[in-house]
Structures are given as C-alpha cells and as structure tokens.
Amino acid sequence: MAQKTALIFGVSGQDGSYLARLLLDKGYRVVGTSRDAQISSFHNLKRLGIRDRVEVASASLVDFRSVLQVLREYAPDEIYNLAGQSSVGLSFDQPVETFESISIGTLNLLEAIRFLGMDLRFYNAGSSECFGNTGGVPATEETPFRPRSPYAVAKAAAFWEVANYREAYGIFACSGILFNHESPLRPERFVTQKIVSAACRIAAGSREKLRLGNISVRRDWGWAPEYVEAMWLMLQQDRADDYIVATGRTHALEDFVREVFASLDLDWHDHVEQNPDLLRPTDIMLSLASPAKAARRLGWQARSFMPDVARMMVNACRQAAGR
C-alpha cells in the first residue's frame, strides 16, 4: 500500500505533537503547519524527539488562499484540524480572535476541500465545553449544546460547520468532542500544568503559594497520548460520525490538587490559596461524559484516569527538573 500523508494543523500543540508521533509510528508521512514554519520552534516536537521526521509548512487557517495552497501542495489523505486559540480563560479576553481562529479557520478548511474536490478524510477538534452545564446528566453525542464561553461558542459553530459539509457535500468529516485531557506538554496557562509546576517548585523548596480560582468545579480528566488514538480511529471507519472522547469519570479540581501534592508528600492545604480574581465570568460547575459510543464503534476506551494523569505529570515535571 502507498504511504498515507497526514496534514496536521496545530502540530505544535499538545495534541498535534502526540498525534504526529502516533502517525509516524504507523508509517505515515506527516506534514505539520504553523503560521510561519521558518521561525516556529516546534518545541513539543523536539521534546518528543520527532522534529526531524515531521515536514513543516507555513499556513494560516484564517487565510483561504493559504489553506488552498497547502492542500494543493501536499494532497493529504487525512487532515487533522487541531489549530486555533485553545484556552477557555483567554477566550474571554480575546473573543474575536478566538472565534475567527476556530470557526472561520474550520470553515476555510472545509470549503477548500469542497472547492478542490479532494477525496480525503477530515478530523475536527471539538470540545466538551460546547455542552455547558448538563444538569448532572452525562453528556452523549445527542446532548444539546449550551456553550458558556467565547471558546465554546466558536467550537460549537465549527462542530455544526463540519456536520453541514458532511451532509451537504458528502465529505468524510467528523468531530471528536474531547473532554479534558492533559500531559506534560500542556503550557502553564492550563490549570493542571499550573498546579503541577507550582507543586514541584514548592517540593524543591520554594515558599510560594499556589493561587487558584474555583476548585470545586468538576471535570473528566484523561491522558492526551491516548486521546489522539481516538482521533485516528475516527478516520478509519466506514462512515464519518462524531464521537465523545472521555474517561467517563469526573473529579473536582480539589481532588486533582490533592493528588498532585500527595504524590510529592505534601499537604495541599498548606500551600494553596483561593483567589477570586481568577474566577471566570461564567464557568461549568460539573462536566460529565458518556464515552459509550466510542467504546462500541471505535473500540476505544481510556486506560489512564485522573490519579494516573496527576502522577504522570508530576513525574515528568520532576524528571525535567533533574529531581
């Protein structure tokens, strides 16, 4: 069989980097994009030891001509759209950039595929944030969206763009509705990495206090390297469809904090302060998921759960610091 080519928009992020490694291991030719590939560091690809195996190209998803050019040049068999502003908190400060990078970027990709008449498979990174509060009922693929942040609004728009192009033009396009998934590649603007990094510094002697917002929010946390497997599996099916990807287990942020500090033989109560300035204008108090469809149709199930994720992130942090 001929070698498949995968084009990853957002290759330098957490998911893009792990996905690139997975696809390389499966024998793919992997091309990743950045707005300016000549000056991008692709730090995460270097951390995973795969930078020299990934081809890179410059492309901006909000520039339709740029998208057309990269699709024509590389003629991919599979496209993974993982690009766009990725922080819920930052989306309140940058709502326009968030909406454009996610919803307009996704629309440009879909329209370029349709315009060029390309026979390929398209994956779009959806988000559990689209569901909002589900009233304590686990979300399924049929649960209505009630987005509560500019980020979630943009992701909801992109989700329906994908569904529309699938139905209207027969494009093999699907969205993965991923719940929270973490790894050592997370930047510190994400609360899990903020917690892990601070706890490791405190364990090494720092006298700082970790300041957090609402620690009673409950989330479903999984392990990012496992979640990219689900992305790939979605594009190997006979029929395009949308899937929730989650562990099916929910924990309070306080539980994550406790697990991280306990793995360093620390009592989190001695080192954490709540700061009302860190509260979001709106937030999801309880995030619940049913990943049954992914298990049934994709054969995918999470193998790592919140306590595992916390410990693995702490271990990676300590190794990086030489401790």
Nearest by Cα to 165 from 231, 90, 242, 110: 110
Residues 228 and 215 in one domain: no
CA distance 111 to 161: 10
CATH of the domain at 41: 3.40.50.720
Residue 298 within a domain: no
CA distance 113 to 170: 11
Of the candidates 28, 91, 123, 129, the residue annotated as catalytic is 129
What's the mean pLDDT when you consider all of the chain? 95
Residues 231 and 258 in one domain: no
- Assess whether 151 carries a catalytic annotation: yes
pLDDT at 192: 96
Considering only residues 26 and 322, tell me which one the structure prediction assigns the higher pLDDT.
26
Of the candidates 34, 91, 127, 287, the residue annotated as catalytic is 127
Q: Name the pLDDT band for 58 (thresholds 50, 70, 90).
A: very high
Q: Name the pLDDT band for 323 (thresholds 50, 70, 90).
A: low
Residue 276 within a domain: yes
- Assess whether 127 carries a catalytic annotation: yes
| Residue 90, CB-side half-sphere exposure with 13 Å CA sphere | 12
Residues 88 and 140 in one domain: yes
Q: What is the pLDDT of residues 139-155, one digit of tens each?
A: 999 999 999 999 999 99
Residues 254 and 195 in one domain: yes
Once rounded to an integer, what is the mean pLDDT over residues 192-210?
Answer: 96
Residues 97 and 195 in one domain: no
- Assess whether 129 carries a catalytic annotation: yes
Q: Name the pLDDT band for 284 (thresholds 50, 70, 90).
A: confident
pLDDT at 281 over 80: no
Residues 65 and 155 in one domain: yes
Residue 230 within a domain: yes
Domain extent, residue 80, equals: 5-181+221-245
Once rounded to an integer, what is the mean pLDDT over residues 284-290?
Answer: 91
pLDDT at 251 over 90: yes
Residues 54 and 21 in one domain: yes
Once rounded to an integer, what is the mean pLDDT over residues 117-136?
Answer: 95
Residues 61 and 142 in one domain: yes
Residues 23 and 117 in one domain: yes
Of the candidates 18, 151, 165, 243, the residue annotated as catalytic is 151
Q: Where are the beta strands (DSSP E) in the chain?
A: 5-9, 29-34, 55-58, 78-81, 121-127, 172-178, 181-182, 210-212, 218-219, 222-223, 243-245, 251-252, 272-274
Residue 296 within a domain: no
Q: How many domains does the chain have?
A: 2
